[in-house]
């Protein structure tokens, strides 16, 4: 069972999400809140929290750092402002989706966060690319030149097929290189490769 809390100041959004999510993929809604203080109260009771950013009393950004130390946080908001996105990611959000996301995308994001993965939609990844200069960290030096090329391509949002075409190698070879990169860096999936590179950690 995945225990989920929904914190949003819009009652209609909260109720809609409860109806949408309850029982799907083992999800159980353990509570709802309408501001940041509720988020702090519910954080230790859930595995994943859906958190809006702009709410009365205390907003999501104000409490995100504390909440993220107790549970996995999926920011679910209407705002696609670059600065809001970057602040949320730096405060500890493991996922970022717009409320316009398909219901199945929200469900899958919850499942992936519960599995320890990170989930960022195209809007969030674009904001990361615009705000961070990938200079490369120590881990990048441990990779082969080809693996470094693939890390760079992943951070630019290219698919395995696009990477294969651009480097004139097979898609299977790209997958093998990604497996090697994950093994060498200790990361668990390609989204983490992109984020680590964009943060200058890889």
The answer to whether residues 33 and 18 touch, using CB atoms and an 8 Å cutoff, is no
Other CB atoms within 10 A of residue 120 CB: 22
- Output the pLDDT for position 135: 52
Residues found in the chain: 202
| Helix, strand, coil percentages in the chain from 3-state DSSP, rounded to 5 | 55, 15, 30
DSSP state for residue 26 in the 8-state scheme: G
Domain boundaries, the chain: 2-129, 133-198
- Output the pLDDT for position 136: 52
Q: Rounded distance, CA 174 to CA 69, Å?
A: 35
Q: Are strands 48-51 and 27-33 parallel, antiparallel or unpaired?
A: unpaired
- Output the pLDDT for position 114: 94
Q: What is the DSSP string of 105-151?
A: HHHHHHHHHHTT--EE-HHHHHHHHHH------HHHHTS-HHHHHHH
The DSSP H or E segment spanning 108 is helix 103-114
Other CB atoms within 10 A of residue 25 CB: 12
CATH superfamily entry for domain 2-129: Response regulator (3.40.50.2300)
Torsion of the alpha carbons at 23, 26, 32 and 34, rounded to the nearest 10: -100
Topology agreement, domain 2-129 and domain 133-198: no
- CATH 3.30.470.20 for the 133-198 domain, yes or no: no
Q: Rounded distance, CA 15 to CA 197, Å?
A: 38
The answer to whether residues 76 and 68 touch, using CB atoms and an 8 Å cutoff, is no
- Output the pLDDT for position 132: 56
Each of the 202 residues of the chain gets a pLDDT tens digit; together they read 999 999 999 999 999 999 999 999 999 999 999 999 999 999 999 999 999 998 988 999 999 999 999 999 999 988 777 788 888 888 889 889 988 889 999 999 999 899 988 888 777 777 666 665 555 556 777 888 899 889 888 887 788 998 998 888 999 999 999 999 999 988 888 888 888 887 777 7
Between the CA of residue 133 and those of 19, 117, 194, 199, what are the distances in Å?
A: 41, 23, 12, 7
**Among candidate residues 93, 36, 98, 37, the one with its CA nearest the CA of residue 65:** 93
What is this structure's pTM?
Answer: 0.67
Q: End-to-end distance of the chain based on CA atoms, in angstroms? A: 34
């Amino acid at each position: 069972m995945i225990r989920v809390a929904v914190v949003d100041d819009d009652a209609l959004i909260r109720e809609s999400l409860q109806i949408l999510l309850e029982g799907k993929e083992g999800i159980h809604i353990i509570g709802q809140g309408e501001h940041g203080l509720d988020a702090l109260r519910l954080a230790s009771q859930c595995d994943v929290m859906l958190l809006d950013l702009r709410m009365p009393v205390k907003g999501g950004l104000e409490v995100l750092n504390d909440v993220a130390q107790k549970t996995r946080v999926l920011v679910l908001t209407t705002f696609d402002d670059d600065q809001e996105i970057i602040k949320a990611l730096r405060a500890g959000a493991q996922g970022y989706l717009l409320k316009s996301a398909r219901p199945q995308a929200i469900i899958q994001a919850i499942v992936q966060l519960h599995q320890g993965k990170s989930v960022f939609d195209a809007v969030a990844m674009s904001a990361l690319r615009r705000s961070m200069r990938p200079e490369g960290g120590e881990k990048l030096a441990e990779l082969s030149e080809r693996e470094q090329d693939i890390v760079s391509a992943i951070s630019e949002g290219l698919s395995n097929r696009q990477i294969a075409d651009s480097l004139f190698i097979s898609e299977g070879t790209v997958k093998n290189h990604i497996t090697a990169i994950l093994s060498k860096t200790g990361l668990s999936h390609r989204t983490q490769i992109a984020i680590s590179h964009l943060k200058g950690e890889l």
